[in-house]
Amino acid sequence: MADSERLKIAIIGAGVAGMSGAWDFARAGHDVTIYEAEATVGGLAGGFRDDGWAWSMEKFYHHWFETDSEILSLADELGLREKIIFPRPKTSYWIDGKVYRSEMNLSMLRLPLSLMSLFRMGLAGVYLKFLTRDWRGLEKVTADQWLRRWMGDEAYRRLWQPLLIGKFADQYREVNMAWLWARIKTRSIRLGIFQGGFQAFLDAFAEKLLAAGVRMRLGTPISRIASVGGKPVLTTPDGDISYDIVLTTTSPALLLRMAPELAATAYGQQAAALRSIGALCVVLALKQPLLTDGTYWLNLPATSSDKRETRFPFLALVEHTQWMDRANYGGDHLVYCGDYVPVTHEYFSMSEDALVQRFTSVLNTVNPAFKPEWIRKSWVFRAPYAQPVPGVEHSQNIPGLQTPLPALYWASMSQVYPWDRGTNFAVEIGRRAARLALADAKA
């Protein structure tokens, strides 16, 4: 490519969407710089590693599905596909003090539901998984309404309502059915991981980007995006820099803070109206296993959006080393206590010690032998922007990838709908934004 044809491109955010867009921009022969405020790549998919661990551990529990064609295709391009493995873990519900398998197969027959409820739930599950692609029809109704009608009150009350409350707190009745359909439609029983942990994949991806000529400016926040002379200009720690194309992958709130010119536009107002909920994980390194029946993922029931009025103060109990060999982690038994709450919730202001104490105080409910002395070490991770909240006919509320500011594009988890946030759809939206930006540049 001639120098006159090379575009000067900036990407804000070194998460999976930003890195995927950078990959396509670089392979098209353009000059690409990624700006990332944090010191490492990965965003919400990033991990950490303790002394003595051979593998990294994700800050927020994470896995791939066998149906994740976008991430698997990218891994093929990067020459990393052979390091992705798909073990089959055991996932379960906690119902009335007992553990039941949660897979959509014959294990459903063991659930404590009437035969009629099991029959209705099975038929509805088959319909959602295999027989319908009509997500636009499903977004016209809430998950609360659809599940009550088609699976019945018993199945809804005992299985689905507690999960929706735990996921969306007091907004659970507003979430549309297309969101739940997308989760059921795309998920597989086997769950995938990169050997070494997801951070190992992200670091290998970053190395491929560097080899392709991409500049990585880690620990370099962008404070402003402006439009000057028809081009986007970034305010960096090194001063103002003009680009031919800018792709930002931030949250809606950060987008509008960085690009105040957008705030008064219809696009900006649409972005500002998008709702999301935060996530947090308490990660425990234990000296003994917690879930002794081999369960990897235990869904815990929430009877109220008020965490003090429900039996468990968090939504998911995930024993990572029931899925991955603990030899990769120095022999630790690693457990996540994960939850979703609004950013105004006390969990975002509590001290780490208080949050660990709150969450671990109920662990003897699932294993009466548990004692605080089992805890070798704990970590707390919090993300204020983690889960979009899609209401009825949500597709009408999502801003496009191209903003009103010339050559400024936005690709975020709020725009992957009806699909759920995750690295597979981060790859898809990052690459789609890159294709759109390059096509616009040629027009």
pLDDT per position as a tens digit, 71-114: 999 999 999 999 999 999 999 999 999 998 887 666 677 889 99
167: Cα separation from own chain's centroid: 13
Contacts 24+ apart (CB under 8 A), 116-125: 116/152, 117/151, 117/152, 117/154, 117/155, 118/155, 120/150, 120/151, 120/152, 120/155, 121/151, 121/152, 121/155, 121/159, 124/150, 124/151, 125/184
d(CA 434, CA 20): 9
Q: Please say whether the beta carbons of 441 and 244 come within 8 A.
A: yes
C-alpha to C-alpha distances, 284 to 70, 289, 367, nearest whole angstrom: 32, 11, 15
pLDDT classification of 47: cutoffs 50, 70, 90: very high
Q: Does residue 244 have a pLDDT over 80? A: yes
d(CA 380, CA 360): 12
Of 106-115, 275-284, 422-431, which gets the smallest average pLDDT?
Answer: 106-115
Look over the chain and give the mean of its residue pLDDT values, rounded to a whole number: 95
pLDDT value at residue 158: 92
Mean pLDDT of 11-19: 98
Q: Does residue 4 have a pLDDT over 90? A: no
pLDDT classification of 308: cutoffs 50, 70, 90: confident
Q: Name the β-bridge partners of 176.
A: 142
Mean pLDDT of 138-142: 97
Side chain identity at 45, as an amino acid letter?
A
Could you tell me the domains of the chain? Answer: 3-84+195-274+392-442 (3.50.50.60), 104-186 (no CATH)
Of 102-116, 236-250, 271-285, 365-379, which gets the smallest average pLDDT?
Answer: 102-116
Structure tokens at 268: 């900006």
Positive/negative CA dihedral, 42, 47, 52, 53: negative
Mean pLDDT of 237-254: 97
Q: Does residue 307 have a pLDDT over 70? A: yes
pLDDT value at residue 142: 98
Task: Estimate the crossing angle of helix 161-168 against helix 143-151, to 10 degrees.
Answer: 170
pLDDT value at residue 119: 92
N residues, the chain? 443
Tell me which residue of 312, 309, 293 sits closest to 301, measured CA to CA: 312
pLDDT value at residue 106: 64
pLDDT classification of 1: cutoffs 50, 70, 90: low
- Interacting residues of 74 by C-beta distance below 8 A, sequence separation 6+: 20, 23, 427
Percent of the chain past pLDDT 90, that is, above it, reads 88
d(CA 385, CA 253): 9
The CA R_g of the chain, rounded to the nearest whole Å, is 22
- Interacting residues of 260 by C-beta distance below 8 A, sequence separation 6+: 224
pLDDT value at residue 286: 98
pLDDT value at residue 128: 92
pLDDT value at residue 108: 74
- Buried b or exposed e, range 215-225, using 16+ CB within 10 angstroms: ebbeebebeeb
Segment 350-402, tens digit of pLDDT = 999 999 999 999 999 999 999 999 999 999 999 999 999 999 999 999 999 99
pLDDT value at residue 131: 79
pLDDT value at residue 2: 62
- Interacting residues of 94 by C-beta distance below 8 A, sequence separation 6+: 298, 299, 300, 301, 312, 366
From the CB of residue 266, how many other CB atoms can be counted at a distance below 10 Å? Answer: 10
pLDDT value at residue 104: 63
